[in-house]
Amino acid sequence: MASLAIQRVKREFKEVVTSSEAENSQIKLEMVAENLKHLQGEIKGPPDTPFEGATFILDILIPDSYPFNPPKVKFATKIWHPNISSATGAICLDILKDQWAAAMTLRTVLLSIQALLASAEPDDPQDAVVAKQYKETPEIYHMTAKFWAEFFAGGNPSSYSADLRQKVKSLCDMGIQSLDAVRALSHYNWDATTAVESIFS
Amino acid sequence: MANNDAADFDVKIIKWNVVAFWKWIASEEECGICRFEFEACCPDCRLPGESCPMAEGKCHHYFHLHCIQKWIKNVQSKRKCPLCRQDWSYVEDSSEIVL
Protein backbone atom coordinates (compact mmCIF):
# COMPACT_ATOMS: atom_id res chain seq x y z
CA MET A 1 0.00 0.00 0.00
CA ALA A 2 2.59 2.49 1.06
CA SER A 3 4.68 1.81 -2.02
CA LEU A 4 1.75 2.63 -4.30
CA ALA A 5 1.36 5.97 -2.51
CA ILE A 6 5.01 6.85 -3.04
CA GLN A 7 5.20 5.64 -6.62
CA ARG A 8 2.12 7.59 -7.55
CA VAL A 9 3.31 10.78 -5.89
CA LYS A 10 6.56 10.46 -7.86
CA ARG A 11 4.59 10.35 -11.11
CA GLU A 12 2.33 13.17 -10.04
CA PHE A 13 5.33 15.32 -9.28
CA LYS A 14 6.32 15.03 -12.91
CA GLU A 15 2.76 15.84 -13.96
CA VAL A 16 2.69 19.04 -11.92
CA VAL A 17 6.18 20.18 -12.93
CA THR A 18 5.50 19.71 -16.65
CA SER A 19 1.95 21.12 -16.52
CA SER A 20 1.01 24.33 -18.32
CA GLU A 21 -0.17 25.75 -14.98
CA ALA A 22 3.32 25.29 -13.54
CA GLU A 23 4.78 26.96 -16.61
CA ASN A 24 2.54 29.98 -15.97
CA SER A 25 3.62 29.70 -12.30
CA GLN A 26 0.01 29.23 -11.17
CA ILE A 27 0.84 26.12 -9.16
CA LYS A 28 4.00 24.66 -7.68
CA LEU A 29 4.85 21.49 -5.78
CA GLU A 30 7.92 20.79 -3.66
CA MET A 31 9.16 18.09 -1.35
CA VAL A 32 9.51 18.78 2.37
CA ALA A 33 10.75 15.38 3.54
CA GLU A 34 12.75 12.97 1.42
CA ASN A 35 10.07 10.27 1.71
CA LEU A 36 7.52 12.07 -0.51
CA LYS A 37 4.91 11.86 2.25
CA HIS A 38 5.15 15.51 3.18
CA LEU A 39 4.89 18.05 0.38
CA GLN A 40 4.51 21.75 0.02
CA GLY A 41 2.18 23.18 -2.59
CA GLU A 42 1.92 26.72 -3.81
CA ILE A 43 -0.94 28.47 -5.61
CA LYS A 44 -1.37 31.96 -6.98
CA GLY A 45 -4.46 33.97 -6.05
CA PRO A 46 -6.83 33.97 -9.03
CA PRO A 47 -7.40 37.22 -10.96
CA ASP A 48 -10.42 39.40 -10.14
CA THR A 49 -10.51 38.14 -6.55
CA PRO A 50 -9.22 39.76 -3.35
CA PHE A 51 -6.37 37.23 -3.57
CA GLU A 52 -4.99 38.40 -6.91
CA GLY A 53 -1.21 38.79 -6.88
CA ALA A 54 -0.79 36.83 -3.64
CA THR A 55 1.00 33.48 -3.23
CA PHE A 56 -0.35 30.85 -0.84
CA ILE A 57 1.63 27.96 0.60
CA LEU A 58 -0.18 24.69 1.26
CA ASP A 59 0.90 21.91 3.58
CA ILE A 60 0.25 18.49 2.03
CA LEU A 61 0.45 15.14 3.82
CA ILE A 62 0.11 11.93 1.79
CA PRO A 63 -1.59 9.10 3.73
CA ASP A 64 -0.31 5.52 3.32
CA SER A 65 -3.66 4.68 1.73
CA TYR A 66 -3.22 7.27 -1.05
CA PRO A 67 -4.72 7.42 -3.70
CA PHE A 68 -7.63 5.51 -2.15
CA ASN A 69 -7.97 8.29 0.42
CA PRO A 70 -7.41 12.00 -0.20
CA PRO A 71 -4.24 13.89 0.72
CA LYS A 72 -4.47 16.02 3.86
CA VAL A 73 -4.16 19.62 2.73
CA LYS A 74 -4.24 22.86 4.70
CA PHE A 75 -3.14 26.44 4.20
CA ALA A 76 0.20 27.32 5.77
CA THR A 77 -0.27 30.94 4.71
CA LYS A 78 -2.88 32.94 6.64
CA ILE A 79 -5.99 33.64 4.56
CA TRP A 80 -9.43 35.26 5.07
CA HIS A 81 -11.94 33.12 3.22
CA PRO A 82 -15.30 31.58 4.31
CA ASN A 83 -14.20 28.01 3.53
CA ILE A 84 -10.76 28.19 5.12
CA SER A 85 -10.12 28.52 8.85
CA SER A 86 -8.44 31.86 9.56
CA ALA A 87 -6.94 30.24 12.67
CA THR A 88 -5.70 26.82 11.47
CA GLY A 89 -5.75 26.95 7.67
CA ALA A 90 -8.09 23.92 7.51
CA ILE A 91 -9.95 23.73 4.20
CA CYS A 92 -13.59 22.83 3.69
CA LEU A 93 -13.64 21.35 0.18
CA ASP A 94 -15.73 18.32 -0.81
CA ILE A 95 -13.01 16.61 -2.90
CA LEU A 96 -10.68 16.61 0.12
CA LYS A 97 -13.40 14.74 2.03
CA ASP A 98 -16.28 12.59 0.82
CA GLN A 99 -16.05 13.55 -2.87
CA TRP A 100 -12.47 12.32 -3.30
CA ALA A 101 -11.87 9.92 -6.19
CA ALA A 102 -8.78 7.77 -6.76
CA ALA A 103 -8.23 9.23 -10.23
CA MET A 104 -7.72 12.73 -8.82
CA THR A 105 -4.18 14.00 -8.53
CA LEU A 106 -2.19 16.61 -6.65
CA ARG A 107 -2.45 18.78 -9.75
CA THR A 108 -6.26 18.66 -9.75
CA VAL A 109 -6.30 19.23 -5.98
CA LEU A 110 -4.15 22.37 -6.29
CA LEU A 111 -6.32 23.66 -9.14
CA SER A 112 -9.53 22.93 -7.17
CA ILE A 113 -8.23 24.89 -4.19
CA GLN A 114 -7.33 27.75 -6.50
CA ALA A 115 -10.87 27.60 -7.89
CA LEU A 116 -12.26 27.66 -4.34
CA LEU A 117 -10.54 31.02 -3.81
CA ALA A 118 -12.52 32.37 -6.79
CA SER A 119 -15.87 30.94 -5.69
CA ALA A 120 -16.53 30.84 -1.95
CA GLU A 121 -19.35 28.74 -0.50
CA PRO A 122 -20.47 30.78 2.53
CA ASP A 123 -23.32 28.35 3.27
CA ASP A 124 -20.83 25.55 3.94
CA PRO A 125 -18.31 27.52 5.99
CA GLN A 126 -15.09 26.43 7.67
CA ASP A 127 -14.80 29.81 9.37
CA ALA A 128 -18.18 31.06 10.64
CA VAL A 129 -16.92 34.58 11.41
CA VAL A 130 -15.62 35.06 7.86
CA ALA A 131 -18.75 33.53 6.33
CA LYS A 132 -21.00 35.88 8.34
CA GLN A 133 -18.98 38.89 7.21
CA TYR A 134 -19.04 37.62 3.61
CA LYS A 135 -22.84 37.43 3.67
CA GLU A 136 -23.70 40.50 5.76
CA THR A 137 -21.07 43.06 4.77
CA PRO A 138 -19.51 41.88 1.50
CA GLU A 139 -17.53 45.10 1.01
CA ILE A 140 -15.85 44.70 4.43
CA TYR A 141 -15.16 41.04 3.62
CA HIS A 142 -13.55 42.03 0.33
CA MET A 143 -11.41 44.68 2.00
CA THR A 144 -10.35 42.31 4.79
CA ALA A 145 -9.56 39.40 2.44
CA LYS A 146 -7.47 41.72 0.29
CA PHE A 147 -5.68 43.08 3.34
CA TRP A 148 -4.84 39.55 4.58
CA ALA A 149 -3.57 38.66 1.08
CA GLU A 150 -1.35 41.72 1.14
CA PHE A 151 -0.22 41.37 4.77
CA PHE A 152 0.47 37.61 4.82
CA ALA A 153 0.81 36.50 1.19
CA GLY A 154 2.54 39.25 -0.75
CA GLY A 155 -0.59 40.51 -2.53
CA ASN A 156 -0.78 43.97 -4.08
CA PRO A 157 -1.58 46.85 -1.70
CA SER A 158 -4.97 48.52 -2.13
CA SER A 159 -6.12 52.12 -1.68
CA TYR A 160 -7.29 51.42 1.89
CA SER A 161 -4.31 49.34 3.02
CA ALA A 162 -2.50 52.34 4.56
CA ASP A 163 -5.56 53.06 6.77
CA LEU A 164 -5.85 49.45 7.84
CA ARG A 165 -2.11 49.18 8.54
CA GLN A 166 -2.42 52.27 10.73
CA LYS A 167 -5.18 50.55 12.75
CA VAL A 168 -3.03 47.45 13.14
CA LYS A 169 -0.12 49.60 14.24
CA SER A 170 -2.22 51.43 16.84
CA LEU A 171 -3.07 48.05 18.42
CA CYS A 172 0.56 46.90 18.23
CA ASP A 173 1.54 50.09 20.09
CA MET A 174 -0.57 48.79 23.00
CA GLY A 175 1.65 45.71 23.12
CA ILE A 176 -0.59 43.45 21.03
CA GLN A 177 1.09 41.03 18.61
CA SER A 178 0.44 42.00 14.98
CA LEU A 179 -1.23 38.67 14.12
CA ASP A 180 -3.61 39.03 17.08
CA ALA A 181 -4.28 42.63 16.09
CA VAL A 182 -5.14 41.73 12.47
CA ARG A 183 -7.36 38.88 13.68
CA ALA A 184 -9.28 40.97 16.21
CA LEU A 185 -9.75 43.92 13.84
CA SER A 186 -10.92 41.60 11.03
CA HIS A 187 -13.29 39.81 13.41
CA TYR A 188 -14.90 43.08 14.55
CA ASN A 189 -15.19 44.70 11.09
CA TRP A 190 -12.17 46.97 11.76
CA ASP A 191 -13.75 48.64 14.77
CA ALA A 192 -10.60 49.30 16.83
CA THR A 193 -12.40 49.88 20.16
CA THR A 194 -14.30 46.57 20.05
CA ALA A 195 -11.21 44.75 18.82
CA VAL A 196 -9.11 46.04 21.73
CA GLU A 197 -11.87 45.22 24.22
CA SER A 198 -12.08 41.66 22.87
CA ILE A 199 -8.34 41.18 23.42
CA PHE A 200 -8.15 42.66 26.94
CA SER A 201 -11.43 41.28 28.28
CA MET B 1 20.91 -32.01 -58.06
CA ALA B 2 18.26 -32.84 -55.48
CA ASN B 3 20.95 -34.07 -53.16
CA ASN B 4 22.95 -30.92 -53.59
CA ASP B 5 19.86 -28.78 -52.82
CA ALA B 6 19.28 -30.73 -49.70
CA ALA B 7 22.88 -30.15 -48.70
CA ASP B 8 22.46 -26.39 -49.27
CA PHE B 9 19.59 -26.31 -46.78
CA ASP B 10 21.21 -28.47 -44.19
CA VAL B 11 20.68 -25.85 -41.50
CA LYS B 12 21.05 -26.75 -37.89
CA ILE B 13 19.00 -24.60 -35.53
CA ILE B 14 21.12 -23.88 -32.50
CA LYS B 15 18.97 -21.21 -30.89
CA TRP B 16 15.60 -19.73 -31.75
CA ASN B 17 14.37 -16.50 -30.13
CA VAL B 18 10.66 -15.91 -30.58
CA VAL B 19 9.46 -12.39 -30.01
CA ALA B 20 5.82 -11.54 -29.49
CA PHE B 21 4.07 -8.31 -28.65
CA TRP B 22 0.83 -7.91 -26.73
CA LYS B 23 -1.28 -4.99 -25.59
CA TRP B 24 -4.48 -4.49 -23.64
CA ILE B 25 -7.06 -2.79 -25.83
CA ALA B 26 -8.34 0.24 -23.96
CA SER B 27 -9.20 3.84 -24.67
CA GLU B 28 -6.60 4.95 -22.16
CA GLU B 29 -2.90 4.17 -21.96
CA GLU B 30 -2.56 3.96 -18.21
CA CYS B 31 -4.56 3.05 -15.14
CA GLY B 32 -6.17 6.15 -13.67
CA ILE B 33 -5.63 4.84 -10.15
CA CYS B 34 -1.97 3.80 -10.01
CA ARG B 35 -0.91 5.71 -13.17
CA PHE B 36 1.07 2.76 -14.51
CA GLU B 37 0.56 1.58 -18.10
CA PHE B 38 -1.82 -1.34 -18.49
CA GLU B 39 1.03 -3.34 -20.02
CA ALA B 40 2.87 -2.96 -16.74
CA CYS B 41 1.23 -4.49 -13.71
CA CYS B 42 -0.41 -2.83 -10.74
CA PRO B 43 2.00 -1.86 -7.92
CA ASP B 44 1.10 -4.98 -5.93
CA CYS B 45 1.99 -7.46 -8.68
CA ARG B 46 5.32 -8.52 -10.13
CA LEU B 47 4.39 -9.89 -13.51
CA PRO B 48 2.20 -8.19 -16.09
CA GLY B 49 -0.28 -10.12 -18.20
CA GLU B 50 -3.14 -12.41 -17.28
CA SER B 51 -2.23 -12.46 -13.61
CA CYS B 52 -2.76 -8.70 -13.43
CA PRO B 53 -5.51 -8.00 -15.95
CA MET B 54 -7.25 -4.85 -16.99
CA ALA B 55 -10.91 -4.28 -16.09
CA GLU B 56 -13.48 -2.27 -17.99
CA GLY B 57 -16.46 -0.57 -16.42
CA LYS B 58 -19.87 -0.05 -18.00
CA CYS B 59 -18.93 3.63 -18.15
CA HIS B 60 -16.06 2.54 -20.49
CA HIS B 61 -13.30 3.51 -18.11
CA TYR B 62 -10.41 1.14 -17.66
CA PHE B 63 -8.28 0.30 -14.62
CA HIS B 64 -6.09 -2.52 -13.43
CA LEU B 65 -8.51 -5.04 -11.97
CA HIS B 66 -6.60 -5.06 -8.68
CA CYS B 67 -6.65 -1.26 -8.47
CA ILE B 68 -10.38 -0.88 -9.11
CA GLN B 69 -11.13 -3.74 -6.69
CA LYS B 70 -9.22 -1.91 -3.97
CA TRP B 71 -11.05 1.34 -4.75
CA ILE B 72 -14.51 -0.30 -4.71
CA LYS B 73 -13.73 -2.00 -1.38
CA ASN B 74 -12.85 1.41 0.08
CA VAL B 75 -15.83 3.17 1.76
CA GLN B 76 -14.60 6.44 0.30
CA SER B 77 -15.50 5.21 -3.21
CA LYS B 78 -19.27 4.79 -2.63
CA ARG B 79 -18.81 2.18 -5.39
CA LYS B 80 -18.44 4.87 -8.05
CA CYS B 81 -16.01 5.09 -10.96
CA PRO B 82 -12.98 7.20 -9.93
CA LEU B 83 -13.07 9.04 -13.25
CA CYS B 84 -16.74 9.82 -13.92
CA ARG B 85 -18.49 9.05 -10.59
CA GLN B 86 -21.10 6.85 -12.22
CA ASP B 87 -22.00 3.69 -10.31
CA TRP B 88 -19.25 1.20 -11.06
CA SER B 89 -20.08 -2.13 -12.65
CA TYR B 90 -17.90 -4.40 -14.78
CA VAL B 91 -18.56 -4.84 -18.50
CA GLU B 92 -20.04 -8.33 -19.05
CA ASP B 93 -17.40 -9.82 -21.38
CA SER B 94 -14.56 -8.89 -19.08
CA SER B 95 -16.30 -10.84 -16.30
CA GLU B 96 -14.51 -14.07 -17.25
CA ILE B 97 -11.20 -12.35 -16.55
CA VAL B 98 -12.70 -10.87 -13.39
CA LEU B 99 -13.12 -14.39 -11.97
Q: Please give the ipTM for the structure prediction.
A: 0.74
Q: Which domains, from first to last, does chain B contain?
A: 54-99 (3.30.40.10)
List of residues 6+ apart from A191 with CB closer than 8 A: A185
Q: Do residues A83 and A124 touch, judged by C-beta distance below 8 A?
A: yes
pLDDT of residue B3: 54
Taking an 8 Å cut-off on Cβ atoms, the answer to whether B77 and A101 are in contact is: yes
| H helix intervals, chain A | 2-17, 20-23, 106-118, 128-136, 138-153, 161-172, 178-187, 192-200
Q: How far apart (Å, rounded) are the C-alpha atoms in residues A108 and A186? A: 31
Q: Which domains, from first to last, does chain A contain?
A: 3-118 (3.10.110.10), 128-200 (no CATH)
pLDDT of residue B24: 86
pLDDT of residue B7: 59
pLDDT of residue A22: 83
Q: Is the minimum CB–CB distance between A2 and chain B shorter than 8 Å? A: no
Reduced to 3 DSSP states, what percent helix, strand and coil does chain A have, rounded to the nearest 5? 45, 15, 40
Q: Summarize pLDDT for A151-174 with one digit per residue, the tens.
A: 999 998 889 999 999 999 999 999
**What pTM was computed for the model?**
0.85
pLDDT of residue B95: 46
Burial class (CB in 10 A: 0-12, 13-18, 19+), A185: buried
At A10, which amino acid appears?
K
Reduced to 3 DSSP states, what percent helix, strand and coil does chain B have, rounded to the nearest 5? 25, 15, 60
Q: Which of A5, A39, A58, A92 is catalytic?
A: A92
pLDDT of residue B93: 62
Closest CA to B74 of B18, B25, B22, B33: B33
- Please report residues of B whose CB lies closer than 8 A to that of A7: 34, 36, 43
Give, in order, the Cα–Cα distances in Å from B94 to each of A67, A137, B77: 24, 58, 21
Taking an 8 Å cut-off on Cβ atoms, the answer to whether A103 and B70 are in contact is: no
Q: How far apart (Å, rounded) are the C-alpha atoms in residues A109 and B12? A: 62
Which residue positions in chain A have pLDDT lower than 70?
1-2
Burial class (CB in 10 A: 0-12, 13-18, 19+), A199: middle
Q: Do residues A70 and A101 touch, judged by C-beta distance below 8 A?
A: no
Which residue positions in chain B have pLDDT lower than 70?
1-7, 93-99
Q: Do residues B88 and B57 touch, judged by C-beta distance below 8 A?
A: yes
| H helix intervals, A24-159 | 106-118, 128-136, 138-153
At B1, which amino acid appears?
M
- Please report residues of A whose CB lies closer than 8 A to that of B44: 4
